Amino acid sequence: MFKGLKEKLKSWIKKSEESKEILDKSVKIEKKKEVKLKKVRKEEKTKEIKEELLEEFPIKEEIKKESIKEKKSFFQSFKKTLSQDKFEELWGELELILIQNNVALKAAESIKNSLEENLIGKDSKNLDLSNELKKAIENILINPPNFLKEIKDSLDKKSPFVILFAGINGSGKTTTIAKVANYLKKNKFSVCLAAADTFRAASIEQIGQHADNLKVPLIKKDYGSDPASVGFDAINYAKKNKIDVVLIDTAGRMQNKDSLMKEIEKIARVNKPDMKIFLGESITGNDATEQAKSFDEAINITGIILSKADIDEKGGTAISVSSVTGKPILFLGTGQEYDDLEVFDKDKLIKKLGL
């Protein structure tokens, strides 16, 4: 993941090491000169020798001053590598790599601010760009709340626990609902599914197949029915049958379609879900970020699941959606099997990015 970043970091570290080598060399030469001068002074026994030496080093005080000046200006110019100008130059390259790896501009901007704060004016010898970048990304990512515990705690007060899934077409809502149902069942929660995508052809059959495979009840109505009413029926079914968790599937909708966004607002208003999850695809980068923002504005999402992390070579989408919405990523979808659902762990992501 984060193609090109490792190479770039290596090259910067090399550059900084090379500068350090030059600096070390210069300091060594200075020391040698001083030792030689001391030795010479010791050996100055006679005036003639002194004069001889003076001939050899005609204005030694000035030479010394000159060399100190040289050393100082070298230091100053080396320090310049950490100046605002040099930082902007380095940042330009890093920003490009981040954006190419699906990090949104806003997220890149907060990474820049954090790096700026921690790098400018710092001694290059102690520069650890990779670590600073890691810290900056860590600050953006949010570790998810404990999903199972949250459900358990809520069930102590009221039942059922209702989760609404929203997102565009093909983002992985139905597949992820099946995975979440499987995960909940494995953790001893009873589950039912609401087929509230009453719009897309074969959507009810698709979720029906998952319900059969997982042996969980499916509450459905005819195609074209009001999706909010399917959710409502499922919640009532769960109440009657003492089912812990209701997972509501919805039709895919583009975030810029006003009428469809109004519809998801209505589903949320009527069904009052305890958790509203936005489903985005890891591979779509900026698009997923824009979608997450719009869905958050419409229904105030609780968290995010990013599907298709198994085919994402970049890794920046997680950083972007977290940064833009300020909401946690709960899970990553990592394949097409029911068990391909991973609790999101920011340390794991950072490791994957190669930092």
Size of site (CB under 5 A) for Mg ion: 2
Q: Are 123 and 6 in contact (CB under 8 A)?
A: no
CB of 119 to ligand GDP, least distance (A): 37
CA 184 from chain centre, in angstroms, equals 26
| Of residues 91 and 344, the one with the C-beta less far from ligand GDP | 344
Which residues have CB under 8 Å from 8's CB, separation 6+? 93, 94, 97
- For 205, how many CA atoms within 13 A lie in the half-sphere containing its CB? 3
d(CA 338, CA 340): 6
| Of residues 236 and 336, the one with the C-beta less far from ligand GDP | 336
Residue bearing tokens 């609404």:
164
| Of residues 82 and 168, the one with the C-beta less far from Mg ion | 168
CB of 234 to ligand GDP, least distance (A): 17
Considering only residues 296 to 335 of the shown chain, the ones binding ligand GDP according to CB under 6 A are: 307-308, 310-311, 333-335
Which residues have CB under 8 Å from 249's CB, separation 6+? 165, 173, 174, 177, 193, 194, 195, 196, 197, 203, 207
187 token code pair: 């953790």
CB of 179 to Mg ion, least distance (A): 13
| Of residues 173 and 308, the one with the C-beta less far from Mg ion | 173
Q: Is 175 a residue that touches ligand GDP (CB under 6 A)?
A: yes
The full DSSP string for 215-247 is T--EE---TTS-HHHHHHHHHHHHHHTT-SEEE
- Residue 280's binding partner, choosing from ligand GDP, Mg ion, none, with beta-carbon cut-off 5 to 8 A by kind? none
Q: Is 336 a residue that touches ligand GDP (CB under 6 A)?
A: yes
Q: Is 169 a residue that touches ligand GDP (CB under 6 A)?
A: yes
Q: Give the range of 97-105, 134-142, 166-174, 288-296 binding ligand GDP by CB under 6 A.
A: 166-174
Q: Is 171 a residue that touches ligand GDP (CB under 6 A)?
A: yes
Task: Give the one residue of 160, 231, 252, 316 binding ligand GDP; rule: CB under 6 A.
Answer: 252
Beta-carbon count within 10 A of 355 CB: 20
Task: Give the one residue of 16, 171, 174, 182 binding Mg ion; rule: CB under 5 A.
Answer: 174
- Residue 336's binding partner, choosing from ligand GDP, Mg ion, none, with beta-carbon cut-off 5 to 8 A by kind? ligand GDP
d(CA 280, CA 308): 9
**Residue ranges in contact with ligand GDP by CB under 6 A:** 167, 169-175, 252, 279, 307-308, 310-311, 333-336, 340
**Residue ranges in contact with Mg ion by CB under 5 A:** 173-174
